[in-house]
Amino acid sequence: AQSVTQLDSQVPVFEEAPVELRCNYSSSVSVYLFWYVQYPNQGLQLLLKYLSGSTLVKGINGFEAEFNKSQTSFHLRKPSVHISDTAEYFCAVSVNYGGSQGNLIFGKGTKLSVKP
């Protein structure tokens, strides 16, 4: 069965500092991987996705992630964060089984808090 582990529940960081949000997944089959961001009282916005090809994926708002198959990781990074990046970030893996396709298993989320 697939699962997603986000290793940090909270990450405080100062403005303009780099940040890495860690995500490990467990799956016996090939997967698609996603990072979503959720601002307070809002829905989910897709940051970036890994489907195939280059293991370094670039997304919106200056974020990027690297897929590492041997370590089953998909860590999210940004070289310089802004106050506006304060939000909760979710890593997710797409699953296909039976007749169900594309549904997502999410990690528990990482709250990024950017301080001035």
Summarize as ranges the residues that interact with another protein (CB under 8 A).
4, 32, 36, 41-46, 49, 51, 90, 92, 94, 96-109
Closer by beta carbon to another protein, 43 or else 116: 43
Q: How many CB atoms are closer than 10 A to CB 31?
A: 23
**Sign (positive/negative) of CA torsion 101, 9, 74, 43?**
positive
Planar angle of CA 88, 76, 105, nearest 5 degrees: 65
SS3 state of residue 84: helix
- Rounded to the nearest whole angstrom, what is the least distance from the CB of residue 49 to another protein in the complex? 7
- Rounded to the nearest whole angstrom, what is the least distance from the CB of residue 79 to another protein in the complex? 26
- Rounded to the nearest whole angstrom, what is the least distance from the CB of residue 105 to another protein in the complex? 7
